[in-house]
Amino acid sequence: MFATPILRSSSGGGYPGFFRRSMEELRRQAKFAVKMEGLHVPIKPFPLITFEETLSPERCKIMCDSNMGGFSKASLSYVPGAEHIERTIGEGNDRNKGGVIVSEHGKEPSHALFQGSISTELPPNRPQIQRSGYAGFRTKDRGMSLFGKLLWDLSPYSFLALRIKSDGRKYFVNFQTESIIPTDLHQHLLPSYSPGEWETVTIPFGAFVRTNHGLVVEPQKEMMTTKVRTVGISLIDRVPGPFELRIADIYATNRPPERKIGLEETGFDLSMEPEDESRGMMDEIEPRQKKGEPERILI
């Protein structure tokens, strides 16, 4: 099946109520059946989240070590700008055809500004906290409908594209799926080839690395793209100081990346034994206790 489109409330932000979610899902399934969309590869971009409305950031959840007593700060705010335009590139048998999202040339798109500061300072009155220094955000769960939990089916697509303006720091893209192990994430380093400039970066879904509590786990299973819950971005390099990342949209596409993404660019060394140092950031999940380590840590 094809992915479920982004749902917008009448106020322009957040997700709609139960009844409207159910009606949107019914229309989606009817359209899928009538047009027999499962018989061809989609060439249009499929938005997971686009920051083109004032209340768009409300569809996301901020995560920061300050929630557990740390001193990092993070916010996600809307910045107005040019309209987002879906466009299909390539015609006929062009193997590079696929969808992209762009804005009028020379104009900055409307977007979300993810900014704040990282602090590795530990809470003075909480000796059980051993590590600190992270910030991130993810899309909120999209709720239930008459047809069950609303999930994205991204199996018809091969790539994830993000239109960003990065400060050059080491961010990761994170996916949550309806995995048998609920604490699993699939992560990949967010590439940035032109820090300080707007660019569209593309990551193959097959390049994402399965992790648990920030550590690479075996066996490495491909991401369950048929049942995707959330997508998000995190900064987990634990380098103290300010950060600023601008995101216009995150979408699935069949347009191949202009640069080839190799295993060396995932952000994880898959040829080595898993590191003791966690690189991940878990959302509302207690980290596993390691031998000889205090009960709770910030990661």
Q: Which residue carries 């205090």 as its tokens?
A: 294
Residue 197 belongs to some domain of the structure = yes
Mean of pLDDT over the chain: 80
Residue 264 belongs to some domain of the structure = no
Q: How many residues does the chain have?
A: 299
Model confidence, pTM: 0.79
Contact of 268 with 104, CB cutoff 8 Å: no
Residue 279 belongs to some domain of the structure = no
Q: What percent of the chain has a predicted confidence (pLDDT) above 90?
A: 51
Contact of 81 with 110, CB cutoff 8 Å: yes
Helix (H) / strand (E) element for 26: namely: helix 18-35
In this structure, the strands spanning 98-102 and 85-89 are antiparallel
The residues pairing with 159 across neighbouring beta strands, listed in sequence order, are 204, 253
CB atoms within 10 A of CB 224: 19
Residue 25 belongs to some domain of the structure = no
Contact of 268 with 216, CB cutoff 8 Å: yes
Across 70-84, 85-99, 222-236, least confident range: 85-99
| Alpha carbons 266 and 263: distance in angstroms, whole number | 5
Average pLDDT over residues 43-66: 94
SS3 assignment for 70-118: CCCEEEEEEECCECCEEEEECCCCCCCCEEEEECCCCCCECEEEEEEEE
Question: Would the pLDDT of 7 be above 80?
Answer: no
Residue 112 belongs to some domain of the structure = yes
Residue 295: pLDDT band (50, 70, 90) is: very low
With a CB cutoff of 8 Å and minimum separation 6, the contacts of 143 are: 15, 18, 21, 149, 150
SS3 assignment for 149-207: ECCECCCCCCEEEEEEECCCCCEEEEEEECCCCCCEEEEEECCCCCCCCEEEEEEEHHH
| pLDDT score at 143 | 77
Please count the structural domains in the chain: 1
Residue 216 belongs to some domain of the structure = yes
Domain extent, residue 240, equals: 47-253
Question: Would the pLDDT of 17 be above 80?
Answer: no
| pLDDT score at 30 | 62
The residue with greater pLDDT, 204 or 30, is: 204
| pLDDT score at 256 | 87
Average pLDDT over residues 252-265: 77
| pLDDT score at 180 | 82
Q: Write out pLDDT tens, residues 96-127.
A: 568 899 999 889 999 999 999 999 999 888 88
Residue 18 belongs to some domain of the structure = no
| pLDDT score at 33 | 55
Across 72-86, 109-123, 205-219, least confident range: 205-219
CATH no. for residue 104?
Answer: 2.60.120
The residue with greater pLDDT, 284 or 268, is: 268
Question: Would the pLDDT of 4 be above 60?
Answer: no
| Alpha carbons 50 and 53: distance in angstroms, whole number | 8
Highest mean pLDDT among 27-31, 163-167, 206-210: 163-167
Residue 15 belongs to some domain of the structure = no
| pLDDT score at 1 | 45
Compute φ and ψ for 266, nearest 5 degrees.
Answer: -75, -20
Across 106-115, 136-145, 202-211, 258-267, least confident range: 258-267
